[in-house]
Amino acid sequence: MTCGKRRSLYFVAAALSLSLIPAGARSQTEETDLASVLDKVAEKTASYLPLESWKATVRSVQTKVDKNWNPEKVTNVQRIMTVRKDDYGEQILKAEEVEKGRTKDITEKYARDSRERLDKRRRKEAERKAKGKAADEGDRREMSLKEFFPFEQSRRADFTFSRLADATLDGRAALAIEVKARVKDEKNWEGTYLIAADSFDVLKVVLRPSKNPKFVKELEMEMTLMILPGNHLVLRSSRARINGGIFIKHIRMISEDEYSDYEIL
């Protein structure tokens, strides 16, 4: 059985519907001590600088599915996202809805709904500031991804780490590390991390929370990452599979985003 097929079985067994990363030649770092690798990854991730103000083009696909995960409705959106510290804005370029084989242009409605959501968020933030309260973490849009990383010494005791077969991603040699949570918690994510063998940057993650949040039955996430000039870690793409909710407010969907044309403001 080839390395590619072994990895395929791993991801299927993990119940993640993801594209395989083809195996490459064994890298010189294959025999590197795991603790040393974790130290180098922790050092690298700690060096990333926060990106508070930025702009990017985002292509989104949201697929509402039935209980068998067959598509029912697909919404395609292209927008320009702008973040300035805690303020978030977006310009809707195009939005369309595909349902039962029919495509409907919903750009105007989607843009109007977007403006209403942003206005509501800004009113809440203004009220919060007027009362001298700190910003609600749930509303923040900063590009901080470190909450998904378990590599720093202060967090390692909550996880177990193991090396998988080395891989390649976009022609780049990568170390594959499997992470499992000893302490089951909504904030303790577990899964697979692909780490650049030459720089120890995080290139890709395939994760799920070790304990699902309330009312969430299933949550799976895949993210590919890249480094912008200035040593900023940002998303290149993301894919989330979500199944949750209560009573009639049930959500079962796949959400995909692709980021391009980043601009630091």
**DSSP structure string for the chain:** --HHHHHHHHHHHTT---PPPPP-PPPTTTTS-HHHHHHHHHHHHHHPPP--EEEEEEEEEEEEE-TT--EEEEEEEEEEEEEETTEEEEEEEEEEEEETTEEEE-HHHHHHHHHHHHHHHHHHHHHHHHTTPPPPGGG------GGG---SHHHHTTEEEEE---EEETTEEEEEEEEEESS--TT-EEEEEEEETTT--EEEEEEEESSPPTTEEEEEEEEEEEEETTTEEEEEEEEEEEEEEETTEEEEEEEEEEEEEEEE-
- Digit-coded pLDDT (tens) for 13-35: 333 333 333 434 344 444 458 99
Class at the top of the CATH hierarchy for domain 3-78+142-264: mainly beta
Q: What is the pLDDT of residue 85?
A: 76
- Digit-coded pLDDT (tens) for 159-207: 999 999 999 999 999 999 999 999 898 889 999 999 999 999 999 999 9
The domain spans of the chain are 3-78+142-264
Q: What is the pLDDT of residue 184?
A: 92
